[in-house]
Amino acid sequence: MRTPIMAGNWKMNCDNEEAWQLAAAIADEKGDVEGCEVVLCPPATALTTVLAAIEDTNIGLGAQNIFWEESGAYTGELSGPMLLSCGCEYVIIGHSERRGRFGSVADDFTPELQKVFGESDASVNRKIKAALSYELTPIVCVGELLNERQAGQTDEVVTSQVRTAVDGLAADQIDSLVLAYEPVWAIGTGEVCDADEANRVLGVIRGIVAECADESVAQEIRILYGGSVKPDNVVGLMQQAEIDGGLVGGASLEADSFGELITAASASVA
Ligand code: PGA
């Protein structure tokens, strides 16, 4: 039985005061949660604030990014030891917004600007290796663009992303990853992927894990769905056999809605 995970990706939202309020409200509502790992991923500036708010609860802390070097002349970057010193246990790696693969963007976000962070599959792989070396749990995001889905390339895109992400990792290292299937067209758009289809793609991803590691790792690894997960669609998603939880943006920014998602994820294994 795989323990589900409900992870909130706050993206570039919440100053320290707002982060404290939100984390404290979630801790108040769901701090004693069991049967579901709850992870809050605030912006780096609020990591220690959120850590203080979730102290003595079952809620874990995650960062939204990591750089692979330990220290040095890398302006603006954060290393594994820095994240550990803020109390992080998880780190999101390869989110589509970092890869420059955007779902919904402001009109003035030209294709050039969309590539502003420009992370490649190869840099995602390096970041995963760095995170594992510091015993941080990577939450690795993959997913296709709308035009790739329309062209029938979904399976091909996620297969290639997963294969490169785990390249050079031993089976026991792959076992300690969390994967997240996030179709880019569903992120921040309100357009959720059909639960059956999300389940099917997660099955494809599990099959790739079996090839890159082995069948027992494929059965153990947690694979999340992300992209417009909301209280009104979460139950259908969590009932799917392959879906082990959610990576949530918008609906994680409000304690009540995130609480409903946590309830649904916990109930899916009850
Ligand atoms: P969303 O974001 O829930 O707002 O669609 C999901 C994500 O980007 O992880």
Tens digit of pLDDT for each residue in 141-181? 999 999 899 999 999 999 999 999 999 999 999 999 999 99
Average pLDDT over residues 101-115: 64
- pLDDT surpassing 90 at residue 82: yes
Residue 265 is assigned to a structural domain of this protein: no
229: left (phi over 0), alpha (psi -120 to 50) or beta: beta
- pLDDT surpassing 70 at residue 104: no
Residue 229 is assigned to a structural domain of this protein: yes
Residue 263 is assigned to a structural domain of this protein: no
User: Considering 95, 97, 119, 260, which one is annotated as catalytic?
Assistant: 95
Query: Does residue 109 or residue 35 have the better pLDDT?
Result: 35
Q: What is the pLDDT of residue 52?
A: 98
Amino acid at 194: D
Q: Residues with beta carbon inside 6 Å of ligand 1?
A: 9, 182, 187-188, 226-229, 247-251
Residue 14 is assigned to a structural domain of this protein: yes
Residue 268 is assigned to a structural domain of this protein: no
- Counting the structural domains of the chain, the total is 1
Residue 108 is assigned to a structural domain of this protein: yes
Residue 28 sits in a domain of what CATH number?
3.20.20.70
Asked if 148 is an active-site residue, the reply is: no
User: Considering 37, 97, 148, 182, which one is annotated as catalytic?
Assistant: 182
**Which residues lie across from 63 on neighbouring strands?**
91
Does residue 139 contact residue 93 with C-beta atoms inside 8 Å? yes
Share of the chain above pLDDT 70, in %: 94
Q: What is the pLDDT of residue 112?
A: 65
Nearest atom in ligand 1 to 180's CA: 9
Residue 100 banded pLDDT, cuts 50, 70, 90: confident
Does residue 16 contact residue 49 with C-beta atoms inside 8 Å? yes
Average pLDDT over residues 14-32: 98
Nearest atom in ligand 1 to 189's CA: 5
Query: How many CB atoms are closer than 10 A to CB 176?
Result: 16
Question: Which sign, positive or negative, has the C-alpha torsion 59, 65, 70, 76?
Answer: negative
- pLDDT surpassing 90 at residue 107: no
- pLDDT surpassing 70 at residue 91: yes
Residue 3 banded pLDDT, cuts 50, 70, 90: very high
Q: What is the pLDDT of residue 213?
A: 98
Q: What is the pLDDT of residue 188?
A: 86
Return the minimum-mean-pLDDT range out of 1-5, 63-67, 189-193.
Answer: 189-193
H/E element holding 92? strand 90-93
| Tens of pLDDT, residues 190-213 | 889 999 999 999 999 999 999 999
Q: What is the pLDDT of residue 190?
A: 87
Residue 250 is assigned to a structural domain of this protein: yes
Q: What is the pLDDT of residue 189?
A: 86
Residue 264 is assigned to a structural domain of this protein: no
- pLDDT surpassing 80 at residue 269: no
Q: Which of 40, 142, 187, 260 best tests ligand 1's pocket when mutated (most atoms within 8 Å of CB)?
A: 187
Query: Does residue 219 or residue 191 have the better pLDDT?
Result: 219
Share of the chain above pLDDT 90, in %: 88
The parent domain of residue 179 ranges over 5-255
Strands 90-93 and 137-142: parallel
**Which residues lie across from 6 on neighbouring strands?**
38, 246
Query: Does residue 258 or residue 97 have the better pLDDT?
Result: 258
- Give the DSSP letter of residue 221: S
Q: What is the pLDDT of residue 106?
A: 59
